[in-house]
Amino acid sequence: MKNVIPVLTVVLAILLLWYGGAILLNKQWVLDQAARQDRVLTTPELIAETWAQDKPKLPAPHQVAVELWDTVAMKKPTSKRSLVYHAWVTMSATVLGFGLGTLLGFALAVGIVYNRVMDKSVMPWVIASQTIPILAIAPMIIVVLNAIGISGLLPKAMISMYLSFFPVVVGMVKGLRSPDAMQLDQMRTWSATRAQEFRRLRLPASMPYLFASMKIAMAASLVGAIVGELPTGAVAGLGARLLAGSYYGQTIQIWSALLMAAALAAALVGLIGLIQRITLKRMGMA
Amino acid sequence: MSWILAGLIVWALGLWANVRLSKRKGRAAALAVPVIFGLVLVFVWEAVVRGFGISPVLLPAPSVIAARFGQSSGVLWQDFVQTVLKGALTGYVLGCGAALLTAIVVDRFDFLRRGLLPVGNFVAALPIIGIAPILVMWFGFDWQSKAAVVVVMVFFPVLVNAVQGLADTSAMQRDLMRTYAASYWTSLWKLRLPAALPFIFNGLKIASTLALIGAIVAEFFGSPITGMGFRISTSVGLLQLDLVWAEIVVAALAGSAFYGGVALIERAATFWHPSQRGR
Amino acid sequence: ADELTLQLKWVTQAQFAGYYVAAEKGFYEEEDLDVTIKPGGPDIAPVQVLLGGGADVMVDWLPSALAARENGAPIVNIAQPFRSSGLMLTCLKEHGIESPADFPGHTLGTWFFGNELPLYSWMSKLGYATDGSEGGVTIQKINFNVDPLLQKQVECATTMTYNEYWQVIDAGLTPEDLVVFKYQDEGIATLEDGLYTTEENLADPAMTEKLVRFVRASMKGWKYAEENPDEAAEIVLENDETGAQTEEHQKRMMGEIAKLTAGSNGALDPADFTRTVEVLLSAGADPVITKDPGEAAWTHAITDEALK
Amino acid sequence: MTEQVAAPAASVPQAPTVISAQGLNLVYETSDGPVQALKDVDLKIDKGDFVSFIGPSGCGKTTFLRVMADLETPTSGTVLVNGVTPEAARKARAYGYVFQAAGLYPWRSIGGNIRLPLEIMGYSKAEQAERVQRVLELVELSGFDKKYPWQLSGGMQQRASIARALAFDADILLMDEPFGALDEIVRDHLNEQLLALWSRTEKTICFVTHSIPEAVYLSTRIVVMSPRPGRITDVIESPLPKERPLEIRDSPEFLEIAHRVREGLRAGHAYD
Amino acid sequence: MTEQVAAPAASVPQAPTVISAQGLNLVYETSDGPVQALKDVDLKIDKGDFVSFIGPSGCGKTTFLRVMADLETPTSGTVLVNGVTPEAARKARAYGYVFQAAGLYPWRSIGGNIRLPLEIMGYSKAEQAERVQRVLELVELSGFDKKYPWQLSGGMQQRASIARALAFDADILLMDEPFGALDEIVRDHLNEQLLALWSRTEKTICFVTHSIPEAVYLSTRIVVMSPRPGRITDVIESPLPKERPLEIRDSPEFLEIAHRVREGLRAGHAYD
Ligand SMILES: Nc1ncnc2c1ncn2[C@@H]1O[C@H](COP(=O)(O)OP(=O)(O)OP(=O)(O)O)[C@@H](O)[C@H]1O
Ligand SMILES: Nc1ncnc2c1ncn2[C@@H]1O[C@H](COP(=O)(O)OP(=O)(O)OP(=O)(O)O)[C@@H](O)[C@H]1O
Ligand SMILES: Cc1ncc(C[n+]2csc(CCO)c2C)c(N)n1
Ligand SMILES: [Mg+2]
Ligand SMILES: [Mg+2]
């Protein structure tokens, strides 16, 4: 609770900058329009108009707020015009992709830690895989998956998975290797099996790492889902909203979809944080 | 059929070689194993594309990509300069530099830390895909807007890591500085910055892959008629998939080299850290 | 019913009204067809979908279809519901461009992804370099909206008569603020929005038979849409899943689309095809296509059957 | 669990050999070059012996213990434990090992930490609970089994780690400076307890310490080692009786052995 | 640098008071409730004193040292150091502090670690080099100045940390179990060295230890503390002369003081 005042201060500062920025960026258009219509604007008029444009370069915060209110609270959540509906569509793909990515990442990490060949050969390629601009070839992936009959939620989830498995691999490899030499030696003196060593030492030791990387993975997964929604443009989801907004120059719509996406990410990441706190508390580590 | 068979055989051979090699010690083996893994991957790809007769419009074979690589090296180089050297690198340097300075300020003023970090986390959750078009609108079509996207993308990972790193000193290490009655700047310079280096490099490494991806993706939302992202997005429309893949190869090579470079510097700068000492 | 998948070139909008009308009004059903319409998007290459087996027919423009053909995609035009081109270049009057002779020294924006081909051909026909050098023009890639024009990042922008032009108007500019060059009027029109399938499909009698029925029903849809533009626009709106389209815009778009489909019974006019190929071949240094694909790139086999 | 290895052994005059090392050498390859940690080490330890290892820091005491426990492989030479290789002995769970630092798992309570080896070795739940209680009492930590390691002081943690090694029936106990972090009074107390346990159970104990009085008080034999390369310079048999009250430390025999150990140690140092 | 604080003091019969604590209480607020670490502590330390603190683990020895060094603020009571508050004394760089663990900075070599306080206090480069060499010799680590902490054994690290505290001219030396990790021979040697340094420099030394002989051997006064809440139960003045050969430890006076300390300690424990 100590954070409330600092956070509010920062938010306030951002709002001020935002309003100021809106004036700066939208000024040109307002002036051009006035010139075309032979009007002369006073400064207050100018400012008022920059904050009330239909298709501003940067919409003012209240414009976005009104749009959010209209599309979140005033529409039936099942309506195609409701942001809640689109957020739901994106969230399904995000969560599915996140689940798949976490599983894949976990499996790879276990393989890397327990198998010499994987340890030596896989990691450089895992890193290289993330330097491929998957976002750039997402459309092709969608098309190719479509061609072999996979469509709907799964292609989006696959892109999410591709982006989210990486932080999990990296974090889990670190976590599974975090027990120190002495702790491993103890297991040896008790002549514990590999499975016992894994369940009773490596796994619990890796928990803090797992949660930290799951948070990153969740955020990445959301980006993946949105990217997956872009090329199939006309379909549902926050990504489709962003795109449609962009085709028709609806900046306000873009910003509201964007803020909705950020809120969704914050909520999902917060959920993991909650699970983390409960789990670590029960393990006596918090 | 013969291609598929060949693919299977090469795969088995590669696996066998790696199982043997990974038992050996030494630099050469450590290098050979992933290389063999990669070569096998490429060969199997070739075999699958040829064996199943996959249309070049869907997935070109590596040999076709390689041929295109040679043919279009001029275009590839020009795109590389535009995207990587101008867009990604500039943005990376600016973004990481700004993040480090901010980290120090944030670390100095607790009020900012408690206010800025939660908001920062929220802002960092804004998908790049949504930000890119806006930044292109603000900063124009050329590399400046790509650099801006990269700045936004790398800023928070580096900031968060740096802030965490600056706080990662043990009570005893700080107490020692206290007994010396060291000033804030002295203890920053002699204790907290060195202690933060492993974290900072962690952030810099993450940022190095993000930078490239960010620059390329941003080009999807507006670019002059050059650049890797531009080429990828427009060549798909012309069905020049071989050129698309050649660009992707450039991206992967550049990204891996970038990451590797940062990792090398990390190794030199944090040689003392347990993670760099072991194994 | 027989299943068939149609891949559109762009998002759900009145540009594709004929197909949505045919589906909604039961014309496909009457032909015993179950048609799935897949919307496109900015980064979807319909040819890829077609060749990958994700669709049986696609809507594409002839220039990019021919370019794909040269790159090894065996695709064939089987019908041409659009007679005229809706492509144009829109400039702000304040930049002082009144005729194509004024282009040099200015920045022209166009979509890429195959859509740039007509513009390049035009410029080359005019004899202008496109690399921004002295006496030439600068080509700028723009995304599929008109912001760069409004914000003066380009001086002219590619627009469609039925869509982007009206976005400029909606933004608050008047027709008097603008100068437009229609490709149709400049004599460099290339064929848009045709129906294409693969050579492989055409070799399969069962498939051709299905395509015949499909084209017949689609043309019925188009003609219905031409006659009932407002109802057609409503149907399109119902099929838009983003919920982002507006009624006003779609009704206006349908009105403009009707002008482009007017005069086509669905059969490709070989003269139009030849003109398109000429325009494309005339592009100078880096031509879109290097040789005339000839009659292999189109067929009347389907329309002949369908229009019987 | 360990029957197949444990020799039948009663306390006969010539007890069977439990550990025998011959011509043991161990070289660590480090980035600074090789480090010879053990050089030509020969040693025989009989069943029921209490052997202390003493020597300057870095002389190879820990290394020797680790070799016995199959945590380190000697470069050359042979070690036999209960007549088999250290590996076989380890697999037969012949060892209880107390490490130089406590090394408790932070996510397990004290009770959970002590239960860990019992779970791994497959003791029944009831047996586990019973044993945990017993060893907690032995190290005077009853009532702390629900606490987590970070809620205990360093000395308490070290005692918990000793309890963990005593919880299961290993007949060889390897203890690496187990009492280093404790104050003198607690240390005396635990010394007494350890001696009592040892004479009750006939375990064989190898014990590393830096304290000369502690070594003399506890052991039947004291092994003095010299610094790198680690060699055994002296093996001192203690004539002290098995029954040892704390006051024995003021007896002349005691002081005399302590003196001998001190001399042996001093020989390994550079000073005077 | 420290002149303004250091009292002029020669070894006159009634040396000036360097540290005086009165009615000191310190309570740690923890999630398990408050922990009283120091209760009603009164103590006076004169210039040139060598004071040992001894007591069971967790009795508040470290806490008391930390209060003196202004690393902890007492809940109530007053402390004066050189007649000023601990904070002012700290700012005047009156302390050299040796922590319970070595706490070297891993990114600095041994030489770099010892140089650290010298750099901060603005010694000239030449002076720095000269002092580093001198203290390295003192703790027998000459030749190791280019090594990094993790390349040294625990005992060597601890000696480096002692060297670090000796490198600059603090006239109060606070040492928290500095010799805990060392073997007996090295420990004896460093004890001698420390005594020599002390009698040469007239520093005031506060020294925490668990070893009774060490406390008796080194100190002019021994402060015995009892467990929580930490109180001072006894302050023993040593009649031993300033000149102390190692053999003094066998003298009757020595044994008699040791006995008194042991009795004081035992009173604080639960056993017998
Ligand atoms: N894993 C290792 N790699 C390289 N050298 C090692 C390793 N472990 C120990 N050494 C070196 O081997 C020598 C013996 O080490 P060991 O730990 O056995 O000493 P010790 O007698 O237990 O010392 P201490 O009393 O300080 O615990 C030392 O010089 C040490 O530096
Ligand atoms: N930061 C802290 N927060 C809460 N309690 C603390 C803290 N530091 C010490 N204590 C508690 O205060 C008491 C005194 O601790 P202190 O470290 O002074 O003991 P000590 O005499 O130095 O013990 P040792 O000989 O083990 O070093 C202990 O019970 C300890 O648990
Ligand atoms: C894949 C693809 N994307 C966009 C266009 C350009 N385009 C043609 S019609 C239209 C609809 C709105 O006017 C747009 C944007 C294209 N030809 N192909
Ligand atoms: Mg050791
Ligand atoms: Mg202490």
pLDDT, tens digit, for every residue of E184-229? Answer: 788 888 888 888 888 888 889 999 998 888 999 999 999 999 876 8
Residue D111: the pLDDT is 92
Closest atom of ligand 2 relative to the E65 alpha carbon: 18
Question: Could you tell which of C48, C144, C147, C261 is best to mutate to test the pocket of ligand 3, judged by most ligand atoms within 8 Å of the CB?
Answer: C144
> Do B103 and B21 share a structural domain?
no
The answer to whether residues A187 and A197 touch, using CB atoms and an 8 Å cutoff, is yes
Residue C60: the pLDDT is 92
Enclosing domain of residue A224: 83-282
Q: Which residues of D touch A (CB under 8 A)?
A: 66, 69-71, 90-93, 95-97, 99, 101, 103, 105-109, 116-117, 119-121, 148, 168
In this prediction, residue C287 has a pLDDT band, given cuts at 50, 70 and 90, of low
Q: Distance between CA A4 and CA A11 in Å, rounded?
A: 10
pLDDT, tens digit, for every residue of D84-124? Answer: 999 998 888 888 898 877 778 888 899 999 999 999 888 99
Residue A64 domain flag? no
Q: Distance between CA B109 and CA B264 in Å, rounded?
A: 33
> Do B101 and B14 share a structural domain?
no
Residue A232: the pLDDT is 61
Residue A72 domain flag? no
Note every long-range contact of A270-279, with CB atoms under 8 Å and residues 24 or more positions apart, other chains counting.
A272/A211, A272/A214, A272/A215, A272/A218, A273/A211, A273/A215, A275/A211, A276/A211, A279/A207, A279/A211
Q: Check whether C132 has a pLDDT greater than 80.
A: no
pTM: 0.82
Convert C256-289 to b/e letters by CB count within 10 Å (16 or more is b).
Answer: bbbebbeebbbbbeeebbebbbebbeebeeebbb
Residue B17 domain flag? yes
Q: Check whether E2 has a pLDDT greater than 70.
A: no
C52 in A contact zone (CB under 8 Å)? yes
CB-based contact D97 A284, cutoff 8 Å: no
Rounded to whole angstroms, what are the CA distances from E151 to A60, D270, E109, E162? Answer: 60, 21, 10, 17
The answer to whether residues A250 and B133 touch, using CB atoms and an 8 Å cutoff, is no
Q: Distance between CA E71 and CA E83 in Å, rounded?
A: 18
Expressed in angstroms and rounded, the spacing between residue A64 Cα and the centre of ligand 1 is: 66
Q: Distance between CA E270 and CA E272 in Å, rounded?
A: 7
Q: Is E54 helix (H, G, I), strand (E, B) or coil?
A: strand
Percent of all residues in chain E with a pLDDT value above 90, rounded to a whole number? 31
Q: Check whether E3 has a pLDDT greater than 60.
A: no
Residue B270: the pLDDT is 82
Taking CB atoms and an 8 Å cutoff, what residues of chain A touch C172?
33, 54
Ligand 2 close to Cβ of residue E105 (< 6 A) = no
Residue D114: the pLDDT is 93
CB-based contact B38 A14, cutoff 8 Å: no
> Going residue by residue through chain B (279 aa), what tens digit of pLDDT does each one get?
688 888 888 888 888 887 787 777 777 777 787 788 888 888 888 888 888 887 777 788 899 899 988 888 888 898 999 888 988 999 999 999 999 999 999 888 888 888 887 887 777 777 777 788 788 878 888 888 889 999 988 888 888 888 888 887 877 888 888 888 888 898 898 888 998 888 898 889 888 888 888 888 888 888 888 888 888 888 887 788 888 889 988 888 888 899 889 989 988 888 887 767 654
Q: Check whether A1 has a pLDDT greater than 70.
A: no
Taking CB atoms and an 8 Å cutoff, what residues of chain E touch B190?
116, 119-120
Q: Distance between CA B56 and CA B54 in Å, rounded?
A: 6
* Closest C-alpha to ligand 3, atom 3: C42
Where does chain D show beta strands of DSSP type E? 17-30, 33-46, 50-54, 76-81, 95-98, 172-176, 204-208, 221-226, 231-237
pLDDT, mean of residues C18-46? 87
B125 in C contact zone (CB under 8 Å)? no
> Do B49 and B174 share a structural domain?
no
Q: Which one-letter amino acid corresponds to residue E12?
A: V
* Residue among C55, C48, C40 at smallest CA distance from C71: C48
Ligand 3 close to Cβ of residue C42 (< 6 A) = yes
* Closest C-alpha to ligand 2, atom 26: E57
Q: Distance between CA C245 and CA D29 in Å, rounded?
A: 72
Residue B276 domain flag? no
- The two three-digit tokens of residue A232, written as one number: 């199939």
Ligand 1 close to Cβ of residue D57 (< 6 A) = yes
- Closest residue in A to C246 (Cα–Cα): A248
Q: Is A112 helix (H, G, I), strand (E, B) or coil?
A: helix
Taking CB atoms and an 8 Å cutoff, what residues of chain A touch B130?
226, 242, 254, 257-258, 261
> Do B253 and B205 share a structural domain?
yes
> Do A88 and A46 share a structural domain?
no
CB-based contact C145 A29, cutoff 8 Å: no
Between D49 and C115, where is the model more confident?
D49
Q: Is D53 helix (H, G, I), strand (E, B) or coil?
A: strand
Residue D10: the pLDDT is 44
Q: Distance between CA E23 and CA E167 in Å, rounded?
A: 34
* Closest C-alpha to ligand 1, atom 6: D28
How distant is the Cα of A94 from the closest Cα of chain C, in angstroms? 18
Pseudo-torsion of CA D5, D7, D8, D12, nearest 10°?
Answer: -170
pLDDT, mean of residues C115-144? 82
Residue D268: the pLDDT is 67
Residue C116: the pLDDT is 82
> Do A9 and A50 share a structural domain?
yes
A124 in B contact zone (CB under 8 Å)? yes
Taking CB atoms and an 8 Å cutoff, what residues of chain B touch C73?
55, 57, 239
pLDDT, tens digit, for every residue of E116-174? Answer: 999 998 899 999 999 999 999 988 888 888 888 888 877 788 889 999 998 988 889 99
> Do A231 and A96 share a structural domain?
yes
Kindly list the strands in the beta sheet with D33-46, ordered across the sheet, starting from the edge strand earlier in the chain: D33-46, D17-30, D76-81
Residue B221 domain flag? yes
pLDDT, tens digit, for every residue of E159-190? Answer: 899 999 989 888 899 999 888 767 778 888 88
> Do A31 and A92 share a structural domain?
no
> Do B130 and B86 share a structural domain?
yes
**In chain A, how many domains are there?**
2
Rounded to whole angstroms, what are the CA distances from B166 to B103, B108, C228? Answer: 8, 10, 69
Q: Check whether C28 has a pLDDT greater than 80.
A: yes
Tell me which ligand sits closest to the C-alpha of residue D231.
Answer: 1
Q: Check whether D11 has a pLDDT greater than 50.
A: no
Angle at A190 between CA A187 and CA A191, to 5 degrees: 85
> Do A119 and A53 share a structural domain?
no
In this prediction, residue D2 has a pLDDT band, given cuts at 50, 70 and 90, of very low
Rg, Å, chain D Cα set: 18
Q: Check whether D271 has a pLDDT greater than 80.
A: no
Best of D137, D141, D179, D184 to disrupt the E interface by mutation (most E CBs within 10 Å)? D184
Q: Check whether A286 has a pLDDT greater than 60.
A: no
> Do B143 and B225 share a structural domain?
yes
Closest atom of ligand 1 relative to the D38 alpha carbon: 14
Taking CB atoms and an 8 Å cutoff, what residues of chain B touch E105?
173, 191, 194-195
Q: Distance between CA E257 and CA E261 in Å, rounded?
A: 6
> Do B121 and B27 share a structural domain?
no
**Could you write out the three-class secondary structure of D177-240?**
CCCCCCCHHHHHHHHHHHHHHHHHHCCEEEEECCCHHHHHHHCCEEEEEECCCCEEEEEEECCC
pLDDT, tens digit, for every residue of E69-86? Answer: 999 999 999 999 988 999
**In chain B, how many domains are there?**
2
Q: Check whether E6 has a pLDDT greater than 70.
A: no
- Closest residue in E to D269 (Cα–Cα): E185
> Do B109 and B29 share a structural domain?
no
Rg, Å, chain C Cα set: 19
Residue A234: the pLDDT is 44
Q: Distance between CA B145 and CA B128 in Å, rounded?
A: 13
pLDDT, mean of residues E46-68? 89
Residue E199: the pLDDT is 86
* Closest C-alpha to ligand 2, atom 3: E28
CATH of the domain at B151: 1.10.3720.10
Indicate the range of B92-101, D242-251, E51-60 predicted with least confidence: D242-251
> Do A8 and A92 share a structural domain?
no
Angle at C141 between CA C140 and CA C145, to 5 degrees: 115
Residue A71 domain flag? no
Tell me which ligand sits closest to the C-alpha of residue C116.
Answer: 3
CATH of the domain at A256: 1.10.3720.10
CB-based contact D183 E266, cutoff 8 Å: no
Residue B122 domain flag? yes
Taking CB atoms and an 8 Å cutoff, what residues of chain B touch E95?
179
Q: Distance between CA D1 and CA D89 in Å, rounded?
A: 12
Q: How far is CA A246 from the centre of its chain?
A: 20
Rounded to whole angstroms, what are the CA distances from A111 to A119, A183, E45? Answer: 7, 21, 62
Closest atom of ligand 2 relative to the E38 alpha carbon: 14
Q: Is E200 helix (H, G, I), strand (E, B) or coil?
A: helix
In this prediction, residue C76 has a pLDDT band, given cuts at 50, 70 and 90, of very high
Residue A77 domain flag? no
The answer to whether residues A166 and A104 touch, using CB atoms and an 8 Å cutoff, is no
Q: How many CB atoms lie within 10 A of CB A15?
A: 13
Q: Which one-letter amino acid corresponds to residue B157?
A: P
> Do B29 and B127 share a structural domain?
no
Residue C150: the pLDDT is 84
Taking CB atoms and an 8 Å cutoff, what residues of chain A touch B201?
none
Q: Are strands C87-92 and C156-160 parallel, antiparallel or unpaired?
A: antiparallel
Convert D134-150 to b/e letters by CB count within 10 Å (16 or more is b).
Answer: ebbebbbbeebbebbbe
* Closest C-alpha to ligand 3, atom 12: C163
Convert B121-132 to b/e letters by CB count within 10 Å (16 or more is b).
Answer: bbebbbbbbbbb
Residue A74 domain flag? no
Q: Distance between CA E96 and CA E163 in Å, rounded?
A: 10
- In terms of residues, how long is chain E? 272
Q: Distance between CA A169 and CA A107 in Å, rounded?
A: 8
Residue B64 domain flag? no
pLDDT, tens digit, for every residue of A142-196? Answer: 777 777 777 778 888 888 999 899 889 988 888 898 887 788 888 888 888 889 8
Residue A250 domain flag? yes
In this prediction, residue D229 has a pLDDT band, given cuts at 50, 70 and 90, of confident
pLDDT, mean of residues A238-261? 82
Residue B61 domain flag? no
Helices (H) and strands (E) in chain A, counts: 12, 0
CB-based contact D56 E265, cutoff 8 Å: no
pLDDT, mean of residues C176-194? 87
Q: Check whether E272 has a pLDDT greater than 60.
A: no
> Do B124 and B32 share a structural domain?
no
Q: Which residues of B touch E (CB under 8 A)?
A: 170, 172-173, 175-176, 178-182, 186, 190-191, 194-195, 197, 270, 272-274, 277
Maximum Cα interatomic distance, chain B, rounded to a whole number of Å: 77
Residue B239 domain flag? yes
Residue D9: the pLDDT is 43
Tell me which ligand sits closest to the C-alpha of residue C88.
Answer: 3
* Residue among E108, C172, C38, E257 at smallest CA distance from A231: C38
The answer to whether residues C134 and C199 touch, using CB atoms and an 8 Å cutoff, is no
> Do B173 and B50 share a structural domain?
no
CB-based contact B114 A266, cutoff 8 Å: no
Residue E10: the pLDDT is 44
CB-based contact C72 B225, cutoff 8 Å: no
Rounded to whole angstroms, what are the CA distances from C232 to C15, C227, C252? Answer: 11, 9, 11
> Do A133 and A53 share a structural domain?
no
B58 in C contact zone (CB under 8 Å)? yes
> Do B121 and B12 share a structural domain?
no
Enclosing domain of residue B33: 2-54
Token pair 């930590």 in the structure block, residue? D141
Q: Distance between CA C153 and CA C158 in Å, rounded?
A: 13
Residue B274 domain flag? no
Closest atom of ligand 1 relative to the D30 alpha carbon: 4
The answer to whether residues D265 and D55 touch, using CB atoms and an 8 Å cutoff, is yes
Residue A213 domain flag? yes
